[in-house]
Structure 1
């Protein structure tokens, strides 16, 4: 009897995850699979499951895999999966929620601190032989307000760390319940108006695409710090560039971008007051294992539930 196939849209999977998937033939799509690559692999192998690391899984990929029952995200963000197409085809979509929460929250804090303390600029100046003690002033975060957009596992963890720094934490999330006492729930207009720093931790949807734009940035305090470790599409990049250049935004710490990977000549490159990282907030050795195991467990849980229901 032939074994079921599972496709990984990446070049590898943690050993701990593979140990859970010994009943499957694992096929790797490589580090940067295109839609055509995935369609070809699905036609060749007809997988029952796909674990999504890189690339997008849309209707064409699903239609090329008639046996497909579950698409499992290696992480928490499922915006690279066409969930409407999956639902229409009876394919379940699952995410490894919280598997990379600590890693991403720490990256957001690192970017916030780097912006507030001019870490990158001062490092470059020191290496060039300068000593700017007499002229430089950093931003103290204690007592200032941070606005957290999205209060899922990552946003909540970041909020806890911001509270530990002595910051006032305000947050917006229409779906969040039973928030800890140190988070003040506010509407977005209040968050834009009162925040000294803003950190984005929400999924990307059609409704919130470009939520941080020229109009909303104009509502913010002058000199606000912007941090994004969620999805690049949440920000109108041209508007952010203009706001940083004008001083409306003091600095931006970004780990995600509208188009990834970032290509040479991107307007942010070489700009002062932008601290950039290549969407690696969730990429730690621990998160790699946690996300792989979470994705594998979701595959097994969905398939088992479907078998039980069919029986």
Structure 2
């Protein structure tokens, strides 16, 4: 089959792991690039008429979905699908799939890294050292052993985070109305107990109408003084001005944040300039290993929907 005759898969990024491309060898893979507008993406969908979208970046809106006549599956290069309009896809009979668990270890490690950075003042001490200061006589960090970690969301990432924290001697409280068969190390509790008892709270929930701004002025007020907040899930889980105010007041001792309501955040974002907020650019799941596992899982999800049984499974979870 010539390249021109192959059905097309459009990737909303500039690249895809070689192992994923091998799985898609019977398809012509096109790329949207690293940055694009809704209009540009819709134009690419109309032009290439792909049978599948593999979504790494960008919002997949009704306009984008409606631009493709042959589109049959939208496959997320990751676990969260809140940037895909599932209703618009369902209305056209287009399947939406996620690479569930493919980056769980990577994101959990990043959550723990942010938690440790907050508890141990790593970023601030690094800056002080580079400025010639030696704060050994005055610095006191937080020991996490024996402290309580509250997890909101107990999917693969939340459970991986819990396992690492438990191995550090932390007490684990978790809230997830859909979680089943939890390990004995996680105590399933209502949110009220997390606000009241957690020394640190880590977010691992999807962004839904129920979870939007679950961290807000009211819930922060009910937390322990000096609580640590970690978010490696979705920025919309947090009322960002409320968290900024709590960090400035000291109600929140520090926060480690990897996701934002708008990405990239605007230049006047309320987090900027607050020294006890540690920020990273939504890279929790961006490791060399996760890049491959998410790519192959996304490719396998495409093939599963298209009924292409000629391909050989090569890592990742088809969901």
Separation of aligned partners in 2, 1:124 and 1:12: 35
1:260 alignment partner in structure 2: 263
Separation of aligned partners in 2, 1:258 and 1:39: 23
2:43 alignment partner in structure 1: 40
Separation of aligned partners in 2, 1:232 and 1:12: 25
Question: Any gaps of 5 or more consecutive residues in structure 2?
Answer: 310-319
1:216 alignment partner in structure 2: 219
Separation of aligned partners in 2, 1:196 and 1:226: 9
Give how far 1:264 is off.
Answer: 2.5
Corresponding position: 1:4 with 2:7:
yes
Q: Is the Cα–Cα contact under 8 Å of residues 247 and 274 in structure 2 kept in the other structure?
A: no
2:58 alignment partner in structure 1: 55
Deviation per CA, 1:30-86: give whole Å up to 9, x if none: 001221111111111111100000101111111110111000000001011001111
1:206 alignment partner in structure 2: 209
Q: Which of the numbers 291, 294, 316 marks the counterpart of 1:291? A: 294
Q: Is the Cα–Cα contact under 8 Å of residues 271 and 277 in structure 2 kept in the other structure?
A: yes
Corresponding position: 1:27 with 2:36:
no
Q: Which of the numbers 48, 72, 76 marks the counterpart of 1:73? A: 76
- Give the root-mean-square deviation of aligned CA atoms: 1.2
Corresponding position: 1:136 with 2:139:
yes
Corresponding position: 1:98 with 2:82:
no
- TM-score, normalised with respect to structure 1: 0.96
Corresponding position: 1:245 with 2:244:
no
1:160 alignment partner in structure 2: 163
Separation of aligned partners in 2, 1:11 and 1:206: 31
Give how far 1:266 is off.
Answer: 2.2
> Equivalent residue of 1:209, what SS?
coil
Give how far 1:136 is off.
Answer: 1.1
Give how far 1:184 is off.
Answer: 0.1
Separation of aligned partners in 2, 1:119 and 1:231: 24
Separation of aligned partners in 1, 2:99 and 2:297: 5
Q: Is the Cα–Cα contact under 8 Å of residues 33 and 54 in structure 1 kept in the other structure?
A: no
Separation of aligned partners in 2, 1:8 and 1:128: 44
Separation of aligned partners in 1, 2:182 and 2:287: 27
2:303 alignment partner in structure 1: 300
Separation of aligned partners in 2, 1:140 and 1:134: 17
Q: Is the Cα–Cα contact under 8 Å of residues 198 and 224 in structure 1 kept in the other structure?
A: yes
Q: Is the Cα–Cα contact under 8 Å of residues 10 and 33 in structure 1 kept in the other structure?
A: no
Separation of aligned partners in 2, 1:8 and 1:21: 12
1:309 alignment partner in structure 2: none
2:125 alignment partner in structure 1: 122
